């Protein structure tokens, strides 16, 4: 297959346009995968082609969102944890 035949193929142009579209939205994809803070800033920068390198750099540089704090551990009373003491050795009865 020659390049002229490939250039006239719909599959060729679909791959080219799809690849360029993926490359253009790469900063947003990276920011979403990294769960970066302020993804909206990356989206806004990505709207302007001249600011695309800044959007790509920002996608890697912006800090990740902090995960939520774990819930506090609630200590169960001794009678809910029978394996804590061998039978007959419990100090509570």
Per residue of the chain (93 residues), what is the pLDDT tens digit? 688 888 888 898 999 999 999 999 999 999 999 999 999 999 999 999 999 999 999 999 999 888 877 777 766 565 555 555 566 655 555
In a domain, 51, yes or no: yes
In a domain, 82, yes or no: no
Number of H helices, E strands in the chain: 5, 0
Cα–Cα distances in angstroms (integers) from residue 18 to residues 38, 47, 92, in the given order:
26, 17, 70
In a domain, 60, yes or no: yes
Token couple for 30: 């990276």
d(CA 82, CA 73): 18
Structural domain containing residue 52? 10-65
In a domain, 33, yes or no: yes
| pTM of the predicted protein model | 0.64
User: How many structural domains is the chain composed of?
Assistant: 1
In a domain, 18, yes or no: yes
């Amino acid at each position: 297959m020659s390049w002229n035949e490939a250039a006239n193929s719909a599959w060729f142009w679909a791959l080219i346009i799809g690849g360029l579209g993926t490359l253009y939205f790469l900063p947003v994809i990276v920011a979403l995968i990294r769960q970066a803070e302020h993804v909206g800033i990356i989206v806004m920068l990505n709207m302007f082609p001249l600011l695309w390198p800044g959007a790509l750099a920002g996608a890697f540089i912006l800090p990740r969102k902090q995960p939520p704090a774990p819930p506090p551990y609630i200590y169960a009373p001794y009678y809910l944890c029978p394996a804590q003491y061998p039978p007959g050795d419990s100090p509570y009865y």
